[in-house]
Structure 1
Amino acid sequence: MSVNLPVLYEPGLSASDMEALRTAVEALERQSFAGRITRLTGRQMGIPVPAEVHRVAMDAAQRALSTSLKFALASLEGPPKGDTTRFHKRLAAVAGGVGGAVGLASLPFELPVSTTIMLRSIADIARNEGENLRHPETGLACLEVFALGGHSDDNVLEGGYLAVRGLLAKSVSDATRYVAGRGLAQDSAPAIVRLLAQLSSRFGVVVSQKAAAQAVPLLGALSGAAINLAFTEHFQTLARGHFAIRRLERIYDPVTVRALYARIAREEGYWDAPPAT
């Protein structure tokens, strides 16, 4: 009796999983949020963002993630509802339209709503990649997505996605152990505070870019809806890449997956190639 075995490509990865890895690298490395906004508006994003916009955005980002942390660990689980990304994008566009009409003053109120909407969508993407939403570690991995997009096109952190995950690894691990043992009775616990600070510092970069774009008098509320739609699509794209990588790391040796990720990122020009020896 013949047995059909998967065709392997590279050390241990099937051809389909190797293609999934390439797609994930593109999702995680190809374009920043600033690049999306430039394409949407036809204007180059102004970097640096005005100081007042940056201050409001960073504060709003931390508050939004603090609120979303409770949601991520308490109420992400539920029956599968199919592909809800379009539904969540529509909700985010409505929230962004309100923010665009009111202006920067609305950001502390609009951002937690938009972030929670995005988190629900990210959780659905995670579940579709085989994640168990009952596990605290999965909820924190959903929040981790908000830290993955905090760079501009001309200032990409060397090592990209893998470098960000490396920077966050200890904080995510510490927070996971704390929540697994004690729940989220105290969100002021050092492990939780440290993780939120790291997440919000990177998420705040993208929020600042979003706020600066919405402050430009293009189309009023309509521009706010379009920018929030791009904002949501940006993090949905990152989530698809992130949870595809996590799925592959559950199947194969994570060291192998990450080594292949780095090779693809360099081959495609997302990272600088190492100097010849």
Structure 2
Amino acid sequence: MRQVDFVALVDAAENLETMSLATRMSQLVGLPVEKAMTALPGPWADIVAGITKMALKKALDSALFSLRAMPGEPANKTHQVLAGLSGALGGSFGIAALAIELPISATIMMRSIADIARSQGEDLDELDTRMACLSVFALSGGGSGAESADTGYYAMRSFLTKALNDTANHVAALGLSQEGAPALVKLLSAVSTRFSLPVSQKLVVQAIPAIGLIGGASVNLLFINHYQKMAKAHFTVRRLERRYGEALIKHAYTEIVISIAENKSNVALNKID
């Protein structure tokens, strides 16, 4: 493997396995997000899950399957500005605005993810690419040390593979016109189940009284920046798999993740000493 490609793989692995969205949001508000989530009423979990699935469905319909490839570098900054504006809406009206704001944010994020995919050599006309774009919403980042090799990025890809294959087969046979297609519903359910947790964390942060309009925009900027990084890492791995083969890249990736975990352990031990 070329040195530049190995460096790109290391960077992708670090982002996919160690970049925790919850940690970044906690740093933004100065409060552990997990602790703040305990104040969220029980029924809200089901409500957020429903809103999340609906938002991804709208994003899939209005962004991904209508998107056309544009030349040049991905317009990350433009998408960040648009996401910030939609976040300001959520910060202004709080929890009640989630059903309005999240579909807008998800559509903007979907377009940004597809733009990044295109910049990494993906063909947006290919169904596999479009489904891979949707899968980015299931990548929350932040693996748990050495276990990341088994429970992180590749484990999530394996989890989604069945739904992705079923969706591809259904669309190939029947097209996208049948909105209630069981395969598409299954894929959306698999992704939204993972995505609903970060959405719940985002909701809690934006509901903090001190956050307000400006904080809502900041949370959305952090949110889209995180998934832009996930998308770049995800499609970097896919680009390298096309060049070198999936088996070789997966093996190298696993070795990199183990090495990262060992380095963290050594640093922790040195601090204790």
The TM-score normalised by the length of structure 1 is: 0.88
How far, CA to CA, are the matches of 1:53 and 1:209 in structure 2? 12
Correspondence for 1:216: 208
Secondary structure of the equivalent of 2:215?
Answer: helix
Query: Match for 2:59: what amino acid?
Result: S
> Contact 1:64 / 1:115 at 8 angstroms: preserved in 2?
yes
How far, CA to CA, are the matches of 2:190 and 2:100 in structure 1? 22
205-214 vs 43-52, greater mean Cα deviation: 43-52
Secondary structure of the equivalent of 1:269?
Answer: helix
Whether 1:44 and 2:24 are equivalent positions in the alignment is: no
Correspondence for 1:249: 241
Correspondence for 1:103: 94
Deviation (angstroms), 1:52: 3.9
Correspondence for 2:68: 77
Flag structure 2 segments of 5+ consecutive residues without an equivalent.
266-273
How far, CA to CA, are the matches of 2:246 and 2:52 in structure 1? 31
Query: Match for 1:115: what amino acid?
Result: A
2:223 paired residue among 218, 221, 231: 231
Cα 1:248–1:150, aligned 2, differ >3 Å: closer, same or farther? closer
Cα 1:86–1:73, aligned 2, differ >3 Å: closer, same or farther? closer
How far, CA to CA, are the matches of 2:261 and 2:210 in structure 1? 34
Number of residue-to-residue matches in the alignment = 260
Correspondence for 2:151: 159
Query: Match for 1:44: what amino acid?
Result: P
Deviation (angstroms), 1:244: 0.2
> Contact 1:150 / 1:204 at 8 angstroms: preserved in 2?
no
> Contact 1:53 / 1:104 at 8 angstroms: preserved in 2?
no
1:57 paired residue among 26, 35, 48: 48
Deviation (angstroms), 1:153: 7.1
How far, CA to CA, are the matches of 1:150 and 1:104 in structure 2? 25
Cα 1:90–1:46, aligned 2, differ >3 Å: closer, same or farther? same
Q: Which runs of 4+ in 1 moved over 6 A?
A: 150-154, 270-273
1:195 paired residue among 173, 183, 187: 187
1:34 paired residue among 18, 22, 39: 22
Cα 1:150–1:215, aligned 2, differ >3 Å: closer, same or farther? farther
Deviation (angstroms), 1:46: 2.8
How far, CA to CA, are the matches of 2:113 and 2:219 in structure 1? 18
Correspondence for 2:12: 24
Cα 1:129–1:112, aligned 2, differ >3 Å: closer, same or farther? same
Whether 1:66 and 2:54 are equivalent positions in the alignment is: no
Correspondence for 1:127: 118
Structure number with higher helix proportion: 2
Cα 1:17–1:159, aligned 2, differ >3 Å: closer, same or farther? same
The superposition leaves residues 113-136 of structure 1 with CA deviations (integer Å, 9 ceiling, x where unpaired) of 000001111111000100000111
Percent identical across equivalent pairs?
40
